[in-house]
Amino acid sequence: MRVLCLLTLVCSCALFGQQGEALLAIVGDEVITTATVQQQTALEEKQLALTCQGAELQQRIQELRKQALDNLIDKELLFLEFQTLKAKLPPNILQERLNRIVLARTNGDLVRFEELLQNEGMTMTEFKKRLHKEIAVELLVRDRLTRGNLVSDRDVIKYYLAHKESLAQPPRYHIAVIQLRKDGKFAGKHEATLQEILHKLAEGVPFAELAKQYSEGANAENGGDQGWMPALVPKLQEEVDKMQSGQTSAHLIDIGSSYYIVQLIAHEKGGVPELDAPLKEKIREILRKQEEKRRYDEYLRTLYMKYPVSRMDQK
């Protein structure tokens, strides 16, 4: 017992950043080590190092490796079940998947692909074995999770009525502005510039073209387009609330160090959306995913009871 506890401590430390390879889990006859886990998380760990450091980085890496270990154990359990069911993987499926991977990584150059595998410490035989396992697990999961997973119209309506608040969208505004700085090139003649702009608009000159010509704002080159905005500063909000889509304010809006001329390109009122075809399909997908998650969790619980699993990363 003392030896086992010591082994558990050593393995747990290795998972969370210590040097050396250690045993983390045994699923059936399959052994999972720190090297296996870290091979799964290497790329994400490099990305994490660009966004955080110190204690936060170590914590994030620990969580990442813990999740990777959980996933690897799940995968091994599923593959054990695939083998127990005596299921067979058609050879053409494996070859087609391999061909796509080689095409994506080396533009179809098999020799170069094998060289890449060697650099990663893997042979083609080992890669095919891993790929075979991944596809087998995919097929088993797809069969268990999606077969008969149908969502009725009644289920959709029930979900819609129960989740109206979460489905509600806030109002949003698509606007474009011409910004005239108070101390900018139009200082002292802002009203005259406004009238000049309004005159050109009346003649049919597009607002975007005028923004490129007159605006002193950051988005001038994009025609003053601000994109969709969920909220506006009070003075803009007050003005926009009086406008129809396509309309331009007829006076200057005084905000901070600038005056603004705003065009309301489009407006969505928000609120609870109607249960139209796109929303129905969105809700169906939500319900399908929920059922898949329930089935997956339940299926994994039965596999944990069915096959031997030993974890050395837990006290």
Q: Give the mean pLDDT of 197-202.
A: 94
Instruction: Tell which wins on pLDDT, 231 or 293.
Output: 293
Q: Tell how far CA 106 is from the center of its chain.
A: 26
Which pTM value belongs to this model? 0.63
Residues of the chain with pLDDT > 70, as a percent, come to 93
Q: State pLDDT tens for residues 136-145.
A: 999 999 999 9
In sequence order, the 6+-apart residues with CB closer than 8 A to the CB of 102 are 108, 109, 110, 113
- What's the sign of the alpha-carbon dihedral 85, 86, 90, 96? positive
Domains of the chain: 87-147 (no CATH), 170-268 (3.10.50.40)
CA-to-CA distance for 122 and 127, rounded, in angstroms? 7
The three-class DSSP label of residue 126 is: helix
Helix (H, G, I), strand (E, B) or coil at 312: coil
Query: So what's the pLDDT on residue 266?
Result: 94
CB 253 within 8 A of CB 260: yes
> In this predicted structure, what is the pLDDT of residue 46?
87
